[in-house]
Structure 1
Amino acid sequence: MTERRVLLEDMKSLLAPQRFKDFTVNGLQVEGSERVRRVMSGVTASQNLLDEAVAWQADMVLVHHGYFWKNEPVAITGMKQRRIATLLGHDINLVAWHLPLDAHSTLGNNVLLAQRMGWTVRGVLDGEVGQGLLYHGEMAECSQQTLAEQLHQQLAHKPLMISGHDRPVRRIAWCTGGAQDMIIDAAEAGMDAFVSGEVSERTTHLAREMGITYYAAGHHATERDGIRALGEWLAQRHDIEHRFVDIDNPV
């Protein structure tokens, strides 16, 4: 068992949330027990995940997508009330790490996606003007369809592919989650392909007209690894139990 304060300080030191201009609160979002024995991690703090945490008697829920997003309604009613009531009623801490977890160089969603896919990381394309989220690198040259099949196999999620040219793929950029509009920066940097989680109507035209092939590989599917790795990292350093729960999400 470990004090909540110690766990939070350790994660803050690792992830450096002060570096990011985010759309939500990073770190502790809902306060629960001061002492933590069991940490359950998952991508999103849905009611299903909270119910799993209650059944397992978790003291902390660790997620990538928490609550209190910019411009969302502030009233704690309906679904939000039920979720927060579950946490408070069972003295469970809710801790969320969003952009800091996407960008981290060893436990982040982007670097772990590259490891899973066997891509070589060459750097970030938005390091000077952005937040270090748009990774780029190289992969073994293959057809566009072969890359789609590799993503399907590794992520257990069939990607939507929008072809912007007829070349093989070698130079690749990626940013997990809802980063489809970074396709512009990827195309301008001369990438053959760009991978993210979601797709918008405009993404089709951007890919076709800018000559880059886009893969919408699933918001949830591309962001499972980071939060699981963070939970495992905590368990290796502290006297806690960790369990990752993957709540199915087709998006």
Structure 2
Amino acid sequence: MIDLLSLESYCNEVLQVDEFNDYCPNGLQVEAARQVEKLMLGVTACQALIQAAEEWGADALLVHHGYFWKGEGLALRGVKANRVGALFRQRTALLAYHLPLDAHQTYGNNRQLGERLGLLPANPVAEGSLIWQTSLSEPISAAELTQRIADRLHRRPTHIAPNERPLKRIGWCTGAAQDAIMEAAGQGLDAYISGEISEQTVHLARELGIHYFAAGHHATERYGVQALGRHLAERFSLEYRFVDVENPV
């Protein structure tokens, strides 16, 4: 068991949240508990995850996608009121880490996705970049990489193929990072993996000559929160559980 604010302070320090200019507040978002013994993990603090936390008796939720995003309405009404109200009623705190959890060298989504796909060792393409890269000892075909993603993420990616060249330098950035395809191509990568795809991504991949794999926003961001949660559970003797709320996107 650990005091909630102490848990937040530890996470903030480990993930170096002050180093990021993010689209949402990182750390404690809903202070609905004081002590944490049971920690539930998930990708997004949706109503289904909140319900699962209540059924399990979780003291806190740790997620990648929380609330209070830049540009959204400030009022607690509708869906947001239902979610926040439920957290307070069931006394479940909410901690959320966005970009800091993408970037962390050990627990981050990019590092964890690279491990999941067998693309380690790897490193960011440039200082301050969220794109990670690796150079394979032996090139593989686009079909091989497609099948590897499908097998290990349990979701077949959308693949945009501009050519038939084998792939040696592969880069990735989880979530909604399709717009970083130009940076990926500028770094000389043969292929770039992310979560989502936009209409323009197809044309950019073809014109830039880089293979693009859209592997799913949710599917690519399931692993960072689990890695961080396991670490917290071991360090502070917490019970923990990851709930994967099905999401085809």
TM range (shorter): over 0.9
Give the SS at the match of 2:162: coil
Q: CA-to-partner distance for each residue in 1:118-170, whole Å, 9 max, x for gaps?
A: 1134421241xxx4311111234211111111000000111000012220111
Alignment-derived partner of residue 152 in structure 1 = 150
For 1:174-219, what per-residue CA distance to the aligned partner results, in whole angstroms no more than 9, with x for missing partners? Answer: 1000000111011111111000000000000100000000000000
TM-score (norm 2): 0.97
5+ long unaligned stretches in structure 2: none
1:42-191 superposed matches below 5 A? 42-127=42-127, 131-139=128-136, 140-191=138-189
Q: Which residue in 2 is equivalent to 1:242?
A: 240
Residues 114, 122 of structure 2: 8 Å contact kept:
no
Q: Percent identity?
A: 46
Query: What's the secondary structure of 2:42's corresponding residue?
Result: strand
How far is 1:104 from its partner? 0.3
SS of 2:40's equivalent in the other structure is: strand
Q: Distance in 1 between matches of 2:28 and 2:248?
A: 28
Residues 164, 209 of structure 1: 8 Å contact kept:
yes
* TM-score, structure 1 as length reference: 0.96
Amino acid in the other structure paired with 2:61: V
Q: 2:11 matched to 1:14? A: no
Q: Look up the match of 1:206.
A: 204
**CA distance in 2: counterparts of 1:16 and 1:158, whole angstroms:** 34
- Specify the alignment match of 2:34 in structure 1: 34
Paired with 2:179 and 2:218, the residues of 1 have a C-alpha distance of: 17
SS in 2 for 1:28: strand
Q: Distance in 1 between matches of 2:198 and 2:126?
A: 21
Deviates more, 1:210-219 or 1:68-77: 68-77
RMSD: 1.0
The aligned amino acid for 1:81 is A
Size of the alignment, in residue pairs? 248
Change in 2 beyond 3 A, CA 1:201/1:55? same
Q: For residue 74 of structure 1, report the CA deviation from its aligned partner.
A: 1.2
For residue 229 of structure 1, the aligned residue among 219, 227, 236 is 227
Shift of residue 36 of structure 1? 1.0
What is the alpha-carbon distance in structure 2 between the residues aligned to residue 123 and residue 2 of structure 1? 33
